[in-house]
Chains A and B, each alone.
Chain A
Amino acid sequence: GAGVSQTPSNKVTEKGKYVELRCDPISGHTALYWYRQSLGQGPEFLIYFQGTGAADDSGLPNDRFFAVRPEGSVSTLKIQRTERGDSAVYLCASSPQGRNYGYTFGSGTRLTVV
């Protein structure tokens, strides 16, 4: 597609529920990144995919968070047993290769855990 597409744009869920956030990167971009932005903060790195594999998942805060990219294109960020502290905007970005130039961000998913 023309840009990085993220769905849903907004998600409200109850504490303890499971959520999935989807990212559709720019066609042909092999690298995909997830970041999380809390209110008043800059984005924080979560995970980086090169192709289908997670090349670096060091930013995932705990084992409730998991991400997949099974065919090397669309990625899904999965959060189990959501907590109020998970409320944030989850941003996805893609680039032609695993370098910071050419990084294009999506509009994000605003997750609110009530």
Chain B
Amino acid sequence: EDKVVQSPLSLVVHEGDTVTLNCSYEVTNFRSLLWYKQEKKAPTFLFMLTSSGIEKKSGRLSSILDKKELFSILNITATQTGDSAVYLCAVASGAGSYQLTFGKGTKLSVIP
């Protein structure tokens, strides 16, 4: 059974701090790894990673994948209160690669 584990499950930081969120996975026939931000109900797409060692970056957020060690990290620098959300990691696997297996998420709270 495919498995995605995120850590920590929750995190409280002060504005301006840098955070690193972790995602490890065990899946058969890995295709890609995705990060989503969930503020209320709708997860919104952040990154998709398919190749090891290539950093994806968007503003203060960046992510990298290690396919040998089966993990990914999501970094957020200079955190703001608007970064408060649940960050979900998901893995696409299988021939069709349409089905995502999600972790439980990391709840990030950024306090002023």
> Which of chain B's residues have a CB closer than 8 A to the CB of A43?
43, 88, 90, 100, 102
Q: Taking chain B's interface residues, is the majority helix, strand, or loop, or is none over half, making it mixed?
A: strand
- Size of the B side of the interface (Cβ < 8 Å), in residues, is 25
**Is B20 an interface residue, CB under 8 A from the partner?**
no
**Is A40 an interface residue, CB under 8 A from the partner?**
yes
**Is B65 an interface residue, CB under 8 A from the partner?**
no
With A33-B98, A44-B102, A56-B99 known to touch, is A100 a contact of B92 (CB < 8 Å)?
yes
With A56-B99, A100-B100 known to touch, is A106 a contact of B42 (CB < 8 Å)?
yes
Q: How far is the CA of A89 from the CA of B92 in the complex (A)?
A: 21
**Is B97 an interface residue, CB under 8 A from the partner?**
yes
Q: Which residues of B contact A (CB under 8 A)?
A: 4, 31-32, 34, 36, 40-45, 48, 88, 90, 92, 96-105
Q: A100-B34, A105-B42 are in contact. List 13 more A-B contacts (CB 8 A).
A: A33-B98, A35-B100, A42-B105, A43-B90, A45-B101, A48-B98, A55-B96, A56-B98, A59-B99, A91-B41, A98-B98, A100-B97, A101-B32
